[in-house]
Amino acid sequence: MSCRRGALIVLEGVDRAGKTTQCQKLVHALQQSGRAAEMMRFPDRTTKIGQLISSYLEKKSNLEDHTVHLLFSANRWEMVPLMKQKLEQGIDLVVDRYAFSGVAFTSAKPDFSLEWCMNPDIGLPKPDLVMFLQLNPNMAANRGEFGIERYETSAFQRTVHQRFEELMQDSSVNWKVIDAARTIEEVHKDIKLLSEDIISLAQNQPVGELWR
């Protein structure tokens, strides 16, 4: 590697925990401190696969449950060459949702095991850090009503939260739980510190492979 690589940093959490807000603030803060940082999000609705997913989420089309799970995974795999290229160029990637959302959401449906759901994402670039923004459903409800997209019901989100808890038992992933019930600035301060630490650590190590 000719230069020190960037870090792969993922934010996960329940709906309205503040993932998008915090990703944007982190990218901005890293850029202010002179680093090259960029935000990505999954699903990436701009690609052809992403458009199929978007139409499904907007309930404009129906897709069989296994099929849509594999499309979400394919939507990550199609970005892998670009992600690797950016990391190698020393760019930090701050990612709003990743394979963990993929597994948590599909396995919240009846008859889907965590194991089956994890399989298609095995070997993806492994995040150096995954921050889970923890927020109880009542607090999340205070931040606005659910929209009309698929999955936006409190019963489904409760099951999703349980699946995230199960995924967080896996010590091969560098999980950090962040109390997202505080102010935007307080949450940001923690996220920034954890990110700066991991950026220093990651730069001398190769990018890992998720769940392998």
By CB under 6 A, name the one of 72, 132, 164, 175 that touches ligand 2DT: 72
Could you say whether residue 56 binds ligand 2DT (CB under 6 A)?
A: no
Tokens of 14: 């329940």
Give the interface segment with ligand 2DT, choosing from 97-105, 123-131, 169-177, 186-194 (CB under 6 A): 97-105
Q: Which stretch binds ligand 2DT (CB under 6 A): 26-34, 58-66, 80-88, 98-106?
A: 98-106
Q: Which residue's CB is nearer to ligand ADP, number 70 or number 140?
A: 140
String of DSSP letters for 27-62: HHHHHHTT--EEEEESS-TTSHHHHHHHHHHTTSS-
| Min CB(3)–ligand 2DT separation in Å | 29
The one segment of 16-24, 52-60, 100-108, 112-120 that binds ligand ADP by CB under 6 A: 16-24
N-terminal to C-terminal alpha carbon distance within the chain:
23
Residue 34 beta carbon to ligand ADP: minimum distance, rounded to whole angstroms: 25
> What is the residue-wise DSSP string for 114-176?
HHHHHGGGTTSBPPSEEEEEE--HHHHHHT----SSTT-SHHHHHHHHHHHHHHTT-TTS-EE
**Which residues contact ligand 2DT (rule: CB under 6 A)?**
42-43, 57, 72, 97, 101-102, 105, 151
